[in-house]
Amino acid sequence: MPAGAFYGQDPTKQNELATYFPKETVNDFFNQYGFLIVQMMLQALLGLSTYLPLMAGQLSLASPGFYALGGYIAAVISTKVLPVSGMYPVQYLLLEMLIAGVASAVLAVIVGVPALRLRGIYLALATIAFVEILRVVSLNLEITGGAVGIFGIPQPFQNSLAYALLVLPLLLIVMFFVYRLERSRIGRAFIAIREDELAADAMGINPTYHKVLAFVMGAILAGIVGAISAHFLNTWNARQGTFDASINSLAYVLIGGSRTFVGPVMGGLILTALPEILRDLKDLRLIVNGLLLTIGAIYLPQGLITPELFKRGSGRKAGKK
Amino acid sequence: MTRRFGGLIAVNEVSFDVTSGEIFGLIGPNGAGKTTMFNLMTGLTPPSSGNLTYEGRNITGLPPYKIAQMGLARTFQNIRLFGNLSALENVKISQHVHTGSGVWAGVLGLGKSKSEEQEVEHNAFELLELVGMGDKAQDKAKNFSYGDQRRLEIARALALKPKVLLLDEPAAGMNPNEKGALSDFIRMVREKFDLTVILIEHHVPLVMGLCDRIAVLNFGQLIALGNPSSVAHDPAVIEAYLGGDE
Ligand SMILES: Nc1ncnc2c1ncn2[C@@H]1O[C@H](COP(=O)(O)OP(=O)(O)O)[C@@H](O)[C@H]1O
Ligand SMILES: [Mg+2]
C-alpha cells in the first residue's frame, strides 16, 4: 500500500526520524517527530480536499494535481519572483497560498465543468488523467525545473515542527468550515446530490453548479496545502503530484470514513503515522501496513469513523427512543 | 407529447390541459406510460416531440431543477428519498430554492443565514407535523415504513412551496386505512396550499372519489379524458381495464 510513499521526499528529515530513541524527553520527542506531526496534518488536509467533492457524490482523484500546482506556484515565487536572503517572510507564504488557491480554483472550473459530466469510476479515471497530464507538463517545462524540479525553497520557519504554527490552525479552520458546511444550505445541496442526484434535481437543486462548486473547494484546499508543502519539503518536483498520491488521499477517505469530515482527517493522520509506528518491524513494515489497510477495508467498509458513531453518543444523552 | 424508448412508444401524442386548482387523475394499466408522462412534465425525461406549457410559458426542455423552481413538485412511484438522511433533513433540502445563503454566509452564520436556517427548520417541522411524522423527524428516511416514506415524500415536495403537486401512486403500499386517510389529506393540502394536484393512482375508488377530471392512458395513448363518471362509463376505458390487468 502506498502509505509509505512519503518516504524519500526529504532524505535529511528522514534521517532525523531514524535517530529515534525511546528515552527522549517530551521536548526532544517533538523535535524528532516535528516532521511527521506536520506531515500528518498536511495529509489530513489533503484527505479533506478529496472529501469535499465526495460530499457531493463526486469521486475525484484530482487533489494531487492541484497540490502539485500550488507547490510549483510557491516554489517559483519564493525562488524566482521574490527571492529573499535569510528567513522567508511568513506573509509571503500566505500570499503564495492565496495565489495557489486562486489558480487552483480557476483550473478547477476549467477542468471540472467538462469532467463532472462523467460519473463514478469514469470521473475518477478522468481526474487521474488530469493529474498525469499536469505531471508530464511539469516535467517538460523550464519554469518548473523539468525533471530535476526546484531546489532550495526557502524556509519561513526555524524547524519542521514550527510549521505546525501555520498548519494546525489551517487544519482546525478547514475542519470547522466543513463541519459548518455540512449543516448549511449549500452543504445540504451537496449531500442531497450525493444521496440521489435525480431526486435533488427534481427538488430544485442545480446538480452541475453544486458539483463544480464542491470540486473547486477541494481544489483550492489542495492548492493551498501544496504551497505550504513546497516550503516544508524544501524541494518540489514532478514526483509530488502522482497517481500514488491520488491513491493515498483516496485511502484517507475510504479508511477513515467518507460520510463525515472526521473520517478523512483521522485517515490522513493515521495512515501517515502508521508506517512510522511500524518502523521497528523493518522490512515487514510495508507488509503489515498493507495488511492492516486490507483488514480495515474488509471489516470497516464504511471506514473507521461513521456519522452514527456521533449520533449514538448524543442520542443517548438526549434520551431518544 | 411523445416519448419513445428505442422502438417502444411509451407516450404517444398525449395531449391534455390541467386547470389551476383542480385535482387531475392520470390512470391506466401498468406500463401505460403514466410515470413517463410525469417524467416528461417534470423535465426528467426530454420528450421525443411535443411541447410542455406552464402558465403560458413554453418550458419544454428545461432541466428538472428549473421546472421545480417554477413550482412543479413531485413524488416518485419508486420512492426516491434521501435514504441515509433524517426525515428533517429531507424536508430541509427541498427548501433550497426559497433560501439564498451562499457558502460563507452559511458556514459563518452571517447575515440572514441564521434566521433563514431557523426558518428552514421551523418549516420542516411544520410539514412533518402536517403529514403526521413530527415525532420521527430525526429518524433515517430509509428505515420508515412504506406509508411513512410516501408521506415524507409528500412533505418534501410541499417544502418546495409548489403550485402544482404531482403524486405518482401515493397510495401504493399503504393499507386500506391509510388509503382512506390519503384522500382527505390530498383534499386538505390542496385547500391549504392552494395547489393543483395531478395524481397517478391504480386504486380506482380513490381516484373516482377524489378527482375533478381524469385522463386514461393505455399503451401510451390517451383513450379518455373527462369527469370521473363519464370516464367510468367510457367503453374504451372498460375495455382497457377488463382486457388489461385489473
Ligand atoms: N427509461 C426507460 N427506458 C426504456 N423504457 C422505459 C423507460 N421508462 C419507461 N419505459 C417503458 O415505457 C413504458 C411505460 O412505462 P411507465 O411510464 O413507467 O408506465 P406506468 O407508470 O403507466 O406503469 C413501459 O413499457 C416501460 O417499460
Ligand atoms: Mg408508473
B74 contacts in chain A (CB < 8 Å):
202
For chain A, percent of residues with pLDDT exceeding 70: 87
Integer-rounded Cα radius of gyration of chain A = 20
How far lies A239's CA from each of A120, A184, A196, in Å?
26, 37, 37
Option in A177, A198, A204 nearest B97 (CB): A204
- Domain at B56, CATH number: 3.40.50.300
Nearest to B23 by CA among B229, B175, B204, B228: B228
* pTM score: 0.90
Q: A77-113 pLDDT, tens per residue?
A: 999 888 888 889 999 999 999 999 999 999 999 999 9
Option in A177, A204, A213 nearest B160 (CB): A204
pLDDT of residue A297: 75
A321 contacts in chain B (CB < 8 Å):
none
Q: Is residue B51 part of a domain?
A: yes
**Can you list the alpha helix ranges (DSSP code H) found in B97-175?**
103-108, 113-130, 146-158
Q: Is residue B105 part of a domain?
A: yes
For chain A, percent of residues with pLDDT exceeding 90: 60
pLDDT of residue B246: 44
Element at B181 (helix H, strand E): helix B176-193
Are the beta carbons of A184 and B138 separated by less than 8 Å? Answer: no
Q: From the candidates A176, A203, A261, which should be mutated to test the interface with B, based on the most B CB atoms within 10 A?
A: A203
What is the C-alpha separation between B165 and B76, in angstroms, rounded? 12
Are the beta carbons of B93 and A320 separated by less than 8 Å? Answer: no
Q: B132-163 pLDDT, tens per residue?
A: 999 999 999 999 999 999 999 999 999 999 99
Question: Is B41 found in the same domain as B4?
Answer: yes
Locate the ligand 1 atom nearest the alpha carbon of residue B28 and give its number. 22
What is the C-alpha separation between A126 and A115, in angstroms, rounded? 7
Question: Is B147 found in the same domain as B168?
Answer: no
Cell of B170: 401515493
Contact pairs from chain A to chain B, CB under 8 Å = 101
Of B115, B134, B157, the residue at which a domain comes to its end is B157
Which residues pair with residue A292 across a beta bridge? none
Q: From the candidates A173, A181, A184, which should be mutated to test the interface with B, based on the most B CB atoms within 10 A?
A: A184
**For all residues of chain B together, what is the average pLDDT?**
92
What is the C-alpha separation between A6 and B23, in angstroms, rounded? 65
ipTM for this model: 0.93
Q: What is the DSSP string of A94-162?
A: HHHHHHHHHHHHHHHHHHHHHHTTS-HHHHHHHHHHHHHHHHHHHHH-TTTTTTT-B--PPPSSSSTGG
- Domain ranges, ordered by start, for chain A: 53-151+160-241, 243-300
First to last CA, chain A: 43
Q: Is residue B176 part of a domain?
A: yes
Q: Bin A153: left if φ > 0, else alpha if -120 < ψ < 50, else beta.
A: beta
The total number of structural domains that make up chain B:
2
Question: Is B167 found in the same domain as B152?
Answer: no
Are the beta carbons of B93 and A205 separated by less than 8 Å? Answer: yes
Per the CB < 8 A criterion, the answer to whether B41 and B47 are in contact is no
A181 contacts in chain B (CB < 8 Å):
103, 106-107
How far lies A55's CA from each of A193, A211, B92, B135, B183, in Å?
8, 9, 17, 28, 39
Question: Which range marks the domain in which residue B103 is found?
Answer: 81-157
Q: Is residue B151 part of a domain?
A: yes
Question: Is B173 found in the same domain as B224?
Answer: yes
Option in A186, A192, A198 nearest B102 (CB): A186
Question: Is B89 found in the same domain as B53?
Answer: no
Of B157, B178, B206, the residue at which a domain comes to its end is B157
Q: Is residue B76 part of a domain?
A: no
Sheet holding B213-218, edge to edge: B72-74, B164-168, B196-200, B23-27, B213-218, B221-226
